[in-house]
């Protein structure tokens, strides 16, 4: 039986690696250059399980800048990279409700 | 108010210093996330969708005005200018930064506030009736017992790594305002036939994936034995609770699988071996704790002062608020005032820093500096002189915490849901907002009478949907938000789990479904004073199911 740790990553379409920034918890995405960005359009988009596994492994190794690292589905529209589900849309854009008071992050 | 001593202050100061070191080591990489996560959770710090969240305990829901001001300060200084009062008499800040947390915790500690045991597998904040000490239907102040338990169980080494979290509620009133039956352990203080007061002990309640109500395992526990008996329950749970499966780790599963009778017998055997030891409460200790709860120096006043009667006649809005938000106090001439944190179209339980400051000021002027937090996500001013009610109404109304919808359809309990929470599958707040807009006509809401709606954004049930008169549970189906609807739940002394009425409905339909259920109730009730929950009890869920699904 395969250990859960050894199970292969499955993806069904274009994906990015995302996490929360350690110091403040802000949502970030892994870039092709091995850095983190809060701009989803600048994220590295992968389309194969092999590429996603490699991107995820490198991101997880960077445990001092980002935490809770995982692979998230996206939609690609020309130069734009868009979240593929509501959870990821809320992570990117913030709550869908008006906040009582909004300050800059 | 309870007066803290040097021991409490030292404990908090040491805890802050310890956490400051832990954060520094995490930020430098000396600690990895696996090592750090349990340390931050022990201080009530979660990582949510967008940021860290700090949960602060408000023991037995009692807040002093200076503490409320400190919460306002923390909201402005470290967060985004607001906080969220929860269903467990806590407050959460949703946008706090890890690097700022040690400073925020130091500021909070200076006002006797902390996040210890608001997370993790330990005994959580001990909750009680938000009217404790002032309710006209209670036999004594239950907070004395909550405080004794708090002191005994804070950082208790034997119970810091339980199989799962453990929630205790205490009440001493005839009417259960503390939702006793949905707690891991409930203590109901009452007087028996011989006139002695003691606790009825229930265990194994809880909602989430597998909802259960408490089972009574000790019909009458003498007060001197409360620490030893709770210790015996925790020992049994610690020893036999399942640690192999997080979904079966709560005490409710243990009690269910073992059977309440057998569990009770095992507790009894353990308790008999320790009850006359160090945990037997000396009356002097009880008296010392009780003496540290300071009550206001009430004036001798009459009920129903002339200015109140005149104001009621002169101002219809005031009269409406008076009828809905003001309750009887045990002291003549005084009243208990509930502050609705459910203005129409706003997130339930949210409170801005400006509102917190204003409420603190109003509490100082009119409620002896004391505020309470209730599990329904509303606040309370517990000691308001009836003659001051017109002024209090004006002051509360000016900061939008005087919506007269307490206990009505728009007084919705809702978890943060997918807008904030990393566990959620669906949103809860926008659903609550839409329902409250549909019922913003207070005449309509009053016509429906007492009707509690509870919304959870996932099966973990932080919005207590199982015990809502109407319960709404968000689920995810193929990437879309759907909502299961239950009816007939209740969290009071007649606690009951709701019954599912049928297939889940899409996000856009939830408010329509609630309107359908409300209309069905209006058509089905026998007379105007038959409450929604009583109509369900009389007729069952079928008529409501038929109404909801007839056209869907």
DSSP string for residues in B74-85: HHHHHSSSEEEE
Minimum-distance CB partner of A25 among B97, B347, B429: B97
**Cβ pair A90:B418 closer than 8 A:** yes
> Residue A30: in which H helix or E strand, if any?
strand A27-30
User: How many beta-carbon pairs under 8 angstroms link A with B?
Assistant: 78
**Cβ pair A22:B27 closer than 8 A:** yes
Give pLDDT, residue A64: 87
Task: Give the whole-angstrom CA distance, residue B493 versus residue B206.
Answer: 15
Identify the residue among A5, A18, A22, A68 best suited for mutation to test binding to B, counting B beta carbons within 10 A and taking the highest: A22
Confidence at B1, pLDDT banded by 50, 70, 90: low
Task: Give the whole-angstrom CA distance, residue B294 versus residue A27.
Answer: 46
Two domains, one topology: B306-398 and B413-549: no
Beta bridge partners of B277: none
Tokens at residue A70, please? 């995982």
Give pLDDT, residue B8: 87
Mark out chain A residues that contact chain B at CB-CB < 8 A.
20, 22-27, 63-64, 67-68, 85-87, 90-91, 94-97, 99-103, 105
Tokens at residue B23, please? 């954060």
Task: Give the whole-angstrom CA distance, residue B386 versus residue A33.
Answer: 68
Mean pLDDT within B364-375: 98
Q: Structure pTM?
A: 0.96
Mean pLDDT within B396-400: 97
| Average confidence score pLDDT of chain B | 97
Confidence at B23, pLDDT banded by 50, 70, 90: very high
Mean pLDDT within B450-467: 98
The closest of B59, B61, B63 to B111, measured between CA atoms, is B63
Does the structure show a pLDDT above 90 at A45?
A: yes
Does the structure show a pLDDT above 90 at B293?
A: yes
Confidence at B482, pLDDT banded by 50, 70, 90: very high
**Cβ pair A24:B98 closer than 8 A:** yes
Mean pLDDT within A59-73: 94
Give pLDDT, residue B29: 95
CATH 3.90.480.20 for domain B306-398: yes
The pLDDT tens digits of the residues spanning B143-173 come to: 999 999 999 999 999 999 999 999 999 999 9
Chain B residues touching residue A85 (CB < 8 angstroms): 479
Confidence at A104, pLDDT banded by 50, 70, 90: very low
Task: Name the CATH architecture for the domain at B134-291.
Answer: 2-Layer Sandwich (3.30)
Confidence at A7, pLDDT banded by 50, 70, 90: low
Mean pLDDT within A70-77: 97
Q: Where are the domains of chain B?
A: 6-57+86-110, 134-291, 306-398, 413-549
Nearest CA to CA, how far is A17 from chain B (Å)? 15
B1 or B50: whose pLDDT is higher? B50
Is B82 near chain A, with CB under 8 Å? yes
Question: Collapsing DSSP states into helix, strand and coil, what is residue B289?
Answer: helix
The closest of B22, B36, B9, B8 to B102, measured between CA atoms, is B22
Confidence at A101, pLDDT banded by 50, 70, 90: low
Question: Collapsing DSSP states into helix, strand and coil, what is residue B185?
Answer: strand
Nearest CA to CA, how far is A15 from chain B (Å)? 16
Residue ranges in A1-105 assigned as alpha helix (H): 49-61, 86-93
Does the structure show a pLDDT above 50 at B208?
A: yes
Task: Give the whole-angstrom CA distance, residue B470 versus residue B485.
Answer: 7
Nearest CA to CA, how far is B548 from chain A (Å)? 27
Tokens at residue B294, please? 């300071």
User: Who contacts B399 (Cβ-Cβ below 8 Å, separation ≥6)?
Assistant: B354, B355, B358, B359
The pLDDT tens digits of the residues spanning B504-546 come to: 999 999 999 999 999 999 999 999 999 999 999 999 999 999 9
Mean pLDDT within B278-302: 95
Nearest CA to CA, how far is B180 from chain A (Å)? 32
Does the structure show a pLDDT above 80 at A23?
A: yes
Q: Quick one: what percent of chain B has pLDDT higher than 90?
A: 98
**Cβ pair B80:A26 closer than 8 A:** no
Beta bridge partners of B171: B188
Confidence at B4, pLDDT banded by 50, 70, 90: confident
Confidence at B350, pLDDT banded by 50, 70, 90: very high
The pLDDT tens digits of the residues spanning A85-100 come to: 999 999 999 999 998 8
**Cβ pair A25:B429 closer than 8 A:** no
Is B347 near chain A, with CB under 8 Å? yes
CATH 3.30.413.10 for domain B413-549: yes
Confidence at B31, pLDDT banded by 50, 70, 90: very high
Does the structure show a pLDDT above 70 at B190?
A: yes
């Amino acid at each position: 039986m395969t250990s859960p740790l050894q199970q292969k990553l499955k993806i069904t379409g274009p994906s990015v690696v995302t996490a929360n920034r350690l110091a403040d918890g802000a949502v970030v995405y892994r870039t092709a250059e091995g850095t983190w960005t809060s701009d989803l359009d600048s994220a590295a988009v992968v389309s194969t399980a092999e590429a996603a596994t490699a991107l995820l492994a490198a991101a997880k190794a960077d445990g001092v800048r980002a935490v809770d690292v995982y692979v998230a589905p996206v939609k690609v529209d020309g130069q734009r990279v868009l979240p593929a589900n509501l959870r990821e849309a809320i992570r990117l854009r913030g709550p869908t409700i008006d906040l009582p008071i909004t300050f800059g992050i | 108010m309870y007066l803290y001593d040097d021991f409490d202050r030292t404990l908090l100061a040491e805890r802050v210093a310890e956490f400051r070191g832990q954060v520094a080591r995490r930020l430098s990489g000396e600690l990895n996330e696996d090592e750090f996560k349990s340390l931050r959770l022990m201080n009530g710090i979660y990582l949510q969708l967008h940021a860290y969240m700090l949960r602060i305990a408000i023991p037995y829901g009692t807040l002093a005005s200076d503490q409320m001001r400190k919460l306002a300060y923390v909201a402005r200084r470290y967060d985004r200018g607001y906080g969220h009062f929860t269903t467990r008499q806590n407050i959460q800040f949703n946008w706090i930064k890890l690097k700022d947390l040690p400073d925020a915790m130091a500021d909070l500690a200076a006002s006797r506030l902390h996040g210890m045991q608001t997370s993790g597998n330990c005994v959580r904040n001990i909750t009680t009736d938000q009217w404790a000490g002032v309710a006209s239907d209670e036999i004594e102040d239950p907070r004395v017992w909550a405080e004794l338990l708090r002191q005994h169980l804070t950082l208790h080494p034997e119970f810091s790594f339980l199989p799962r979290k453990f929630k205790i509620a205490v009440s001493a009133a005839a009417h259960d305002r503390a939702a006793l039956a949905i707690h891991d352990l409930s203590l109901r203080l009452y007087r028996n036939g011989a006139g002695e007061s003691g606790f009825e002990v229930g265990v194994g309640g809880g909602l989430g994936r597998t909802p259960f109500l408490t089972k009574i395992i000790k019909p009458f526990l003498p007060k001197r034995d409360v620490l030893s008996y709770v210790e015996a329950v925790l020992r049994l749970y610690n020893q036999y609770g399942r640690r192999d499966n997080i979904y079966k780790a709560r005490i409710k599963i243990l009690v269910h699988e073992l059977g309440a009778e057998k569990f009770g017998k095992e507790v009894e055997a353990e308790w008999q071996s320790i009850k006359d030891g160090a945990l037997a409460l000396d009356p002097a200790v009880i008296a010392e704790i009780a003496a540290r709860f300071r009550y206001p120096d009430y004036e001798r006043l009459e009920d129903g002062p002339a200015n109140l009667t005149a104001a009621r006649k002169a101002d219809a809005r005031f009269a409406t608020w008076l009828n809905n938000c003001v309750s009887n106090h045990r002291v003549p001439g005084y009243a208990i005032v509930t502050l609705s944190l459910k203005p129409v179209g706003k997130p339930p339980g949210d409170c801005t820093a400006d509102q917190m400051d204003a409420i603190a000021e109003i509490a100082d002027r009119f409620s002896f500096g004391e505020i309470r937090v209730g599990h329904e996500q509303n606040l309370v001013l517990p000691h308001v002189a009836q003659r001051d009610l017109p002024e209090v109404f004006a002051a509360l109304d000016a900061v939008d915490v005087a919506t007269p919808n307490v206990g009505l359809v728009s007084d919705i309990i809702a978890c943060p849901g997918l807008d904030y929470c990393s566990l959620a599958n669906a949103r809860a707040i926008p659903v609550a907002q839409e329902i409250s807009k549909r019922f913003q006509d207070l005449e309509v809401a009053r016509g429906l009478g007492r009707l509690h709606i509870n919304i959870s954004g996932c099966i973990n049930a932080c919005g207590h949907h199982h015990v809502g008169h109407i319960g709404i549970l968000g689920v995810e189906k193929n990437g879309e938000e759907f909502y299961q609807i239950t009816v007939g739940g209740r969290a009071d002394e007649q606690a009951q789990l709701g019954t599912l009425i049928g297939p889940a409905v899409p996000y856009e339909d939830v408010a329509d479904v609630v309107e359908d259920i409300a209309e069905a109730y209006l058509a089905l009730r026998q007379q105007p004073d038959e409450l929604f929950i009583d109509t369900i009890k009389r007729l069952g869920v079928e008529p409501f199911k038929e109404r909801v699904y007839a056209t869907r």
